[in-house]
């Protein structure tokens, strides 16, 4: 079985795991730092996803400043594109990862930054809740 893993910079760290732990599997990893949902959708046609059995997608963090309705709409377009390119592919979507304080701040995190992080993490939770609902409705797999 062939698996395509695509997404933003977070997934680049899966490369070593894939090489060492999944060496018997046919896995292709494509990481695009800074990519947004709509950018990944445009790139999909160049990957020949018709030859893959599974696709794992991790994207959306770079869209988190947008309206929730816009993000959901972009995810719907992305999922439609994947299904149109390969109707038989099994889609796995990774939820967005909540942010923590900068580990190099040495305790000097401002109240404003703490408020920003709290707000961002609430938005990420809302995005993940929407993705989980989309997964249930459209029959793909969602994990956090």
Q: Give the model confidence (pLDDT) of 87-115 as tens digits.
A: 999 999 999 998 766 554 555 556 666 67
Q: According to the 3-state scheme, what is the secondary structure of 62-127?
A: HHCCCCHHHHHHHHHHHHHHHHHHCCCCEEEEECCCCCCCCCCCCCCCCHHHHHHHHHHHHHHHHH
Class of domain 2-142: alpha beta
Listed by start position, the domains of the chain span: 2-142
pTM of the model: 0.86
Among 69, 73, 64, smallest CA distance to 96 is for 64
How confident is the model at residue 20, as a pLDDT? 64
The pLDDT of residue 29 is above 60: yes
Considering the chain, what is the average pLDDT of its residues?
88
The pLDDT of residue 30 is above 70: yes
The Cα–Cα gap between 144 and 140 comes to 14
Q: Confidence band (pLDDT; 50, 70, 90) for 76? A: very high
How confident is the model at residue 141, as a pLDDT? 96
Residue 30 host element (H or E): strand 26-31
How confident is the model at residue 65, as a pLDDT? 93
Q: Give the model confidence (pLDDT) of 43-61 as tens digits.
A: 998 989 999 999 999 999 9
The pLDDT of residue 2 is above 80: yes
DSSP letter for 139, please. Answer: T
């Amino acid at each position: 079985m062939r698996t395509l893993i695509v997404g933003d910079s977070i997934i680049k760290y899966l490369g070593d795991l894939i090489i060492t732990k999944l060496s018997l599997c046919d896995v292709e990893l494509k990481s695009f730092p800074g990519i947004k949902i709509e950018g990944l959708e445009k790139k999909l046609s160049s990957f020949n996803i018709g030859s893959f059995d599974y696709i794992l997608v991790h994207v959306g963090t770079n869209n988190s400043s947008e309206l929730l309705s816009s993000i959901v709409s972009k995810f719907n377009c992305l999922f439609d594109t994947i299904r149109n390119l390969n109707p038989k592919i099994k889609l796995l979507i990774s939820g967005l990862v909540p942010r923590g304080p900068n580990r190099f701040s040495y305790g000097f995190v401002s109240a404003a930054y703490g408020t920003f992080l709290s707000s961002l993490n609430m938005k990420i939770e809302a995005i993940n809740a929407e993705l989980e609902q989309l997964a249930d409705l459209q029959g793909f797999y969602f994990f956090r």
